[in-house]
A and B are shown apart, each in its own frame.
Chain A
């Protein structure tokens, strides 16, 4: 017989924190802020969250949830369909594949790892978008995006770490 157990609900809710934090960042990316005019160089903030959880709690962000986040980002941004879903999955896949190089290392290695992953996915996105639009997309905004996200990374990564410490105890880490 089914027994209502608060502990199980609490456990399940905590497991959903990485997804909902990433979803929150996806939605934040679309908030209209009229004082900022750096139109074409706003970076893809949710990638920081996906990178963080793929490094520290990959079991809590399965590939389908990353795909779902990317699909939502695609729908809201009206970019070529599937583009950001693919970028989000690429970040996730690269981190899972090379996780040993950043997991448990100092913050600068962790930071550098993200910059390399972001650079690679930017190139990937540029190639796909250029094919989609049949013209070479201007590369300058992509370079500025990389600079801005490099500066923003510590802030979002530290928030992610704080959330991890607050909601996700080590017993949840099945990696």
Chain B
């Protein structure tokens, strides 16, 4: 190495160390500053996050392909030993569901007639966007899912997200081709719900564990373990009637819920696109 350059590096070393030390302290201060900005202007932080997510998700997606293949093989192998029992169980369930199908058709026809008579507002005018889960995060401080549908596919912030079994969360952040879903188990999640048996209304509060709590239950209410819970539609955040879970345990006036679906087991989700309610009018059409 050039002797002059070597001398320069030697002379600059203490300054370099000092700079490094100040840089460390400076970066720690920057972290606290970011936290402060996050509290004051959450939208700005969300925008920045969306752009980072949009840039990195394609890489995570590519990295996840081998894991998806391995998962599929493991699931296939795991299901092989019980395939005969599963088949018998499904045949029985099929018979049972056929009977229910006929009953449901009859009830639907009746329901439509009554709606038409009353000129009532239809609240089931929904369509869905199906998306694949491309990334997920679960930790003691936050749970979230990232799906491969965004603004370009018609996803909007606040839309409910379903799995095959029931409600799993709502969209909280939307980028061009990705969206972030806040699971119902997250500490920031609040879902207005209604109990199936006694039609009691309450709020399901996430706690970052797999079993959220039921809050704001009227005092002295009878809570039954195993009772099903649906979204109540209060506050217009979630559509009414989406299956949420069952009561897992009751302790006095408190209850914990087992959601129908664990968000981290889901591969595909359906995002509910709510359309404007339409009035069903009875009588002849006026030209």
Mask of A13-44 contacts with B, CB within 8 angstroms, 1/0? 00000000000000111111111110111101
Distance in Å: Cβ of B3 to nearest Cβ of chain A: 19
Which residues from chain B contact A44 at a C-beta distance below 8 Å?
Answer: 139
Q: Does B24 contact A (CB under 8 A)?
A: yes
A132 at interface, CB cutoff 8 A: yes
B139 and A40 within 8 A (CB): yes
Contact A31–B135 (Cβ < 8 Å)? yes
B173 touches A78 (CB 8 A): yes
Contacts of B188 in A (CB 8 A): 133
Query: Judging by beta carbons under 8 Å apart, are B141 and A32 in contact?
Result: no
In the assembled complex, B64 has its CB within 8 A of some CB on chain A = yes
Residues of A within 8 A of B173 (CB): 78
B47-55, B93-101, B230-238, B242-250: which one contacts chain A? B47-55
B80-88, B196-204, B263-271, B278-286: which lies at the A interface?
Answer: B263-271
Q: Does B177 contact A (CB under 8 A)?
A: no
Q: In the complex, how many angstroms separate the beta carbon of A65 from the nearest chain B beta carbon?
A: 10
The segment from B34-42, B114-122, B149-157, B216-224 found at the interface with A is B34-42
Q: Of the candidates B140, B144, B265, which one forms a contact with A78 in the assembled complex, judged by CB atoms under 8 Å apart?
A: B144
Distance, CA A55 to CA B220, complexed state (A)? 59
B140 contact set on A, CB distance < 8 A: 40-41, 126, 129, 137-138, 141-142, 145
Q: For residue A85, which residues in chain B have a CB less than 8 angstroms away from its CB? A: 27, 30-31, 34
A39 is contacted by which of B28, B141, B187, B264 (Cβ under 8 Å)?
Answer: B264
Complex Cα distance, B67 from A33, in Å, reads: 7
- Establish whether residues A63 and B24, one from each chain, have CB atoms under 8 Å apart when the complex forms: yes
Complex A-B: 10 CB contacts under 8 Å? A35-B71, A76-B56, A77-B137, A79-B141, A81-B49, A85-B30, A133-B141, A137-B208, A138-B209, A145-B139
Chain A residues packing against B (C-beta within 8 Å): 27-37, 39-42, 44, 62-64, 67, 70-72, 74-83, 85-86, 89, 92-93, 96, 125-126, 128-129, 132-133, 135, 137-138, 141-142, 145
Given contacts A39-B264, A85-B27, A137-B140, 19 further A-B contacts (CB under 8 A): A37-B265, A63-B27, A67-B31, A77-B139, A78-B142, A79-B142, A80-B35, A81-B34, A81-B35, A82-B30, A82-B31, A85-B31, A89-B27, A89-B28, A126-B140, A129-B141, A137-B187, A141-B139, A141-B208
Chain B contact residues, CB within 8 Å of chain A: 20, 23-24, 27-28, 30-35, 37-38, 45, 48-49, 52-53, 56, 59-60, 63-64, 67, 71, 74-75, 133-146, 172-173, 180, 185, 187-188, 207-210, 262-267
